[in-house]
Chain A
């Protein structure tokens, strides 16, 4: 084989690699025990089991993890939502605006903010906050709350969230799963994940 042929083979190999290698934005495995940053932010988490990071972004500075698919167990990290921004991306800024996190939002109003966001985004009425309690999150005074809602697919889901406001930014982790079976099955996995979170 001449050098020319080597070059040709190498070029072909590179070309075939670029065709077969998955794009950088595909779903990724998040391996047990490996600390990793989430939601383009300085929040680090150490999963206690393998998780999948989905290639869907519900908004700026968010990241979604799941075990069996986002319909069945959805962990969303909000890594420092700045004042003036909604939690998730608005369908239309002008026509369908979402409630915003503001400088004056109190910690106790964070559950209401999430509730308003869900109700407005999904246009639902069946949403209930079921508890709100003080809880440390990211090593700071925070809040944990639980909720239950039914959206257009007619499936009732339960949710749990941890949130803290640090230097004027909102940090939060939420877990949503169908009330039947899936919530109870994985809530401890989520709690372990949320309690492993720390600021870099």
Chain B
């Protein structure tokens, strides 16, 4: 009996869906003021989270750049409003993956891989707004409580099933197990959809272009496809929901986010220039982190997307390094070309001469390769590998 009466709760909890023809997202609810945790569950979660935040603040993985963090905070504030955004702290974590997370007490982690993939303020605001949506709706708490309810039910179910050890009760328990776990994963996906809806609500109300939210996912789909193609994998599906998926599929998100965006906002500014300027010091670093991940297709896609706003010496350099490190003979020929392009734009890039020299030597052009390596040493005499490079140069005739 208990098993039956408990099931409808799970069904109700997981009935949230957004269609791809949905109307634009409504304005977010009025701000309720600074929130304090309530009840024993939430108090406990926040206390644990405060401890986690203290550890995070001291972590060597956090990028401590006041200007960058302030910029991200400003973008968040411009999306969700200054009253709301002050309840969060942003930490930029150096990890080359597409991710950002929000924890119950208002700690927002933004991964460097995300910053590399965003092309403008509006896209960034869409992600930060989505994460803020999780915070405002207290999703961590409700998910924790739903998980506890589900697993409680399974524990009782197991007990009852063991009291009547028959084939039927065992089978009933197994199907209950599948329904509960399935519901929990669906619950997580529904939370994501709800945060998407809220995020778009903020963005529609802000001064930024809300259509950017859908473009983030379209871009990610492109990258995943490019990565799979270059690895010779089957084309991934972006509409199928796996049983254990914690997020809705990328295709679905791209679809309904486009529908939720306010059509009249399409002409608004997306802050691409401001974004590039704020990230200019870090993009070469994040790009280097990406191209060393041995994901040729994905990295090539990211570079191509970044180059849409114009090729910079660092973009050419990154592309050249990507080709040189893959290292087929045909790649080396391309790499030589890309290094030369980088040098043409900026003749003081030591690393471009290094890569050019190594690629030329490997394609059999010893003399020119050595000339490039000498140029590298001239530009960077104290390079980490100066002594190794010096060994590759022709010996100077002794006097």
Contacts and interface: CB of A to CB of B under 8 A. Distances in A.
A175 B327 CA distance: 27
B388 A108 contact: yes
A132 B380 CA distance: 14
Contacts of A99: 294, 325
Contact of B325 (A111, A116, A130): A116
Given A94-B231, A95-B233, A125-B95, A106 B293 contact: no
A154 B109 CA distance: 15
Contacts of A97: 231, 294
Contacts of B231: 94-95, 97
Nearest to A132: B385
A70 interface: no
Interface in B349-395: 358, 361-362, 384-385, 387-389, 391-392
B97 interface: yes
Interface in B95-152: 95-97, 112-113
Contacts of B61: 126, 150, 154
By secondary structure, the B interface counts as loop
Nearest to B392: A108
B59 interface: yes
A107 interface: yes
Contacts of A105: 327
Nearest to A97: B294
B294 A98 contact: yes
Contacts of B112: 125
A119 interface: yes
B388 A133 contact: yes
B391 A134 contact: yes
Contacts of B387: 132-134
A94 B55 CA distance: 36
Contacts of A131: 384-385
Interface residues of A, number: 33
Contacts of B362: 104, 106
A186 interface: no
B259 to A, nearest CB: 32
B235 to A, nearest CB: 14
Size class of the B contact interface (CB-based, 8 Å): 20 to 34
B358 A120 contact: no
A134 B295 CA distance: 30
A125 B287 CA distance: 10
A55 interface: no
Contacts of A120: 292-295
A124 interface: yes
Nearest to A96: B294
Contact of B60 (A98, A112, A156): A156
Interface string A129-168: 1111110000000010000001000101000000000000
B49 interface: no
Given A133-B387, A133-B388, 19 more contacts: A95-B231, A99-B325, A104-B327, A104-B362, A105-B327, A108-B392, A116-B294, A119-B292, A120-B295, A123-B96, A124-B95, A125-B94, A125-B95, A125-B96, A129-B384, A131-B384, A134-B391, A150-B61, A154-B55
Kindly list the 7 A-B residue pairs having the minimum CB-CB distance in the complex, ordered from nearest: A125-B289, A132-B385, A120-B294, A125-B94, A125-B96, A119-B292, A108-B388
Interface of A: 94-95, 97-99, 102, 104-109, 111-112, 115-116, 119-120, 123-127, 129-134, 143, 150, 154, 156
15 contacts: A104-B327, A106-B358, A107-B388, A120-B292, A124-B95, A125-B95, A126-B60, A126-B94, A129-B385, A132-B388, A133-B385, A133-B387, A134-B388, A134-B391, A150-B61
